[in-house]
Amino acid sequence: MYRELEKCPRSLLVCEKSNFENEKSSHDTHVSKHYFNHKVSLVIPECRSLPPKLASVINNFKKYFLIKDLPVYEFLDKDFLENVVWNGALYALSYKTSIDQDNTIALLPSSHLILSVDKDTYEQLGLEGKPSQYNHKQPMRYVVTIDLTEKSMAPGGKRYQRVLSSLKERVPLKSHFLLARHNSGVEGDRVLQSLLARYQWKDHTPVVRSHTLKDLSCPSLRSTDLRGEQHSCDPSSFLEWLGAVSAGVSCDNTATSFTSTYVCPEPNTPVSQALHCTLSGLLLPEDIYSLLQELRRYFDEPKFTSWLSLTVHGFMDSPVSWGDREHGFHKGGENFYNFVLFRNQDYWLHMGTGSNDRCPP
């Protein structure tokens, strides 16, 4: 059993530190390019309940839709392209499909349609693509990327007709989809509602859960020390602690506990209470960025804590991680990022993926 535990897959973790007010800070880019997010987790030491302004931002996260058995060619409808895809940030992700076993589809807010398909489907489609970077000796999966903003993809053009024919006649791909839209114009709403009316669908509001943790040991963090060489625990240990807190794992290592011998990394500080709040659903980068901006203002008034944490988890089976970078499942499908925000507007940023993915940007 011990030998098996030693075989845990390698992961990739990129760490950087900066200041939100630094003109070269790229925190906004990292947030905006991580398109498909299913969970956000907040940990705020020395806090009992959500401040009203934070609660307001969280309650204003966009609703999203679950549409059943939606054919992919519907995304190429002329009215849908002109009023929904090209006129606002649209996010669509195939639901309950596995990227290492099934055909998975994503429509990015950049108007790129991503088809991650098996070899048989790829050959039947007849569309240009490239082998998945996560193949073994022989290509068994392919990725087709279609830029819907290209002139050749204008409705009525030759390439448009070829793609439409492939998706409608050759291989009529369909899937359940999670779908959300950031910009909602009147005409775009009309066209979207027209699409929904033809299929079985349901709208969802992100689920919010919040509770107070009592008598918690928290890592002692200083913004000047990211690597934990002197005053702070190292990034991996800090993220492990966050995971334990989120999972409700005790960090006390008490003599009566036979479930866990885990302890909070050194150095640490006991706090009387801490807030743990999670959101889950299809969470848009624009809403997450608004939350990040409000968290920055948390320290405008004096607080007992000098830091707080925001963690964002991507969908395990999304065909992309950041931007249009291909995402692989391997053994866990993890792709996430974490901000540690400090009182002086410094921040740490941790970005992690499994060993299959390329290094996060």
pLDDT at residue 260, as a whole number: 58
The answer to whether residues 237 and 328 belong to one domain is: yes
Q: What is the mean pLDDT of the chain?
A: 90
Round to whole Å and give the CA distance between 73 and 160: 11
Local confidence band at 349 (pLDDT 50, 70, 90 cut-offs): very high
Walk across the sheet containing 141-147 and list its strands: 130-131, 141-147, 112-118, 104-107, 90-94, 174-181, 64-71, 201-204
In a domain, 86, yes or no: yes
Question: For the stretch 185-210, what's the b/e string if a residue is b when 16 or more beta carbons lie within 10 angstroms of its beta carbon?
Answer: eeebeebbeebbeebebeeeebebee
290, 225 contact by CB (below 8 A): no
The domain boundary residue, chosen from 171, 204, 237: 204
Local confidence band at 5 (pLDDT 50, 70, 90 cut-offs): very low
pLDDT at residue 2, as a whole number: 47
Contact residues for 290 (Cβ-Cβ < 8 A; gap 6+): 57, 60
Q: What is the pLDDT of residues 89-116, one digit of tens each?
A: 899 999 999 998 999 999 999 999 999 9
The answer to whether residues 42 and 127 belong to one domain is: no
The answer to whether residues 91 and 26 belong to one domain is: no
The answer to whether residues 301 and 213 belong to one domain is: yes
Of 196, 156, 165, 190, whose CA–CA distance to 65 is shortest?
A: 196
Region of 148 on the Ramachandran plot (φ > 0 left; ψ -120 to 50 alpha; else beta): alpha
Higher pLDDT, 14 or 260: 14
Average of per-residue pLDDT across 58-70:
97
In a domain, 133, yes or no: yes
Q: Do the strands 201-204 and 64-71 form a parallel or antiparallel pair, or are they unpaired?
A: antiparallel
* CB half-sphere exposure, 222, CA atoms < 13 A: 10
Higher pLDDT, 138 or 95: 95
- The region of weakest confidence among 8-17, 52-61, 63-72 is 8-17
The domain boundary residue, chosen from 177, 204, 231: 204
The number of domains in the chain is 2
Q: Following DSSP, what letter does each residue of 2-15 receive, concatenated?
A: HHHHTTPPPEEEEE
In a domain, 52, yes or no: yes
pLDDT at residue 1, as a whole number: 42
The first and second tokens of residue 352, run together, are: 């992690």
The answer to whether residues 54 and 82 belong to one domain is: no
Round to whole Å and give the CA distance between 345 and 297: 9
The answer to whether residues 238 and 349 belong to one domain is: yes
The answer to whether residues 187 and 280 belong to one domain is: no
Number of residues that make up the chain: 361
Beta partners for residue 233, in sequence order: none
Residue type, 355: S
Write down the residue that tokens 């050749």 correspond to: 152
In a domain, 5, yes or no: no
Asked if residue 9 has pLDDT above 70, the reply is: no
Of 106, 283, 263, 34, whose CA–CA distance to 182 is shortest?
A: 283
The answer to whether residues 323 and 350 belong to one domain is: yes
178, 72 contact by CB (below 8 A): no
Round to whole Å and give the CA distance between 195 and 67: 10
The answer to whether residues 220 and 333 belong to one domain is: yes
The answer to whether residues 198 and 212 belong to one domain is: no
Q: What is the pLDDT of residues 291-345, one digit of tens each?
A: 999 999 999 999 999 999 999 999 999 999 999 999 988 777 889 999 999 999 9
Higher pLDDT, 224 or 163: 163
In a domain, 2, yes or no: no
Q: Residue 233 belongs to what domain range?
A: 11-61+207-354
The first and second tokens of residue 353, run together, are: 């993926």
The answer to whether residues 332 and 254 belong to one domain is: yes
Write down the residue that tokens 């007849």 correspond to: 126
Q: What is the pLDDT of residues 198-239, one digit of tens each?
A: 999 999 999 999 999 999 999 999 888 765 455 567 888 899
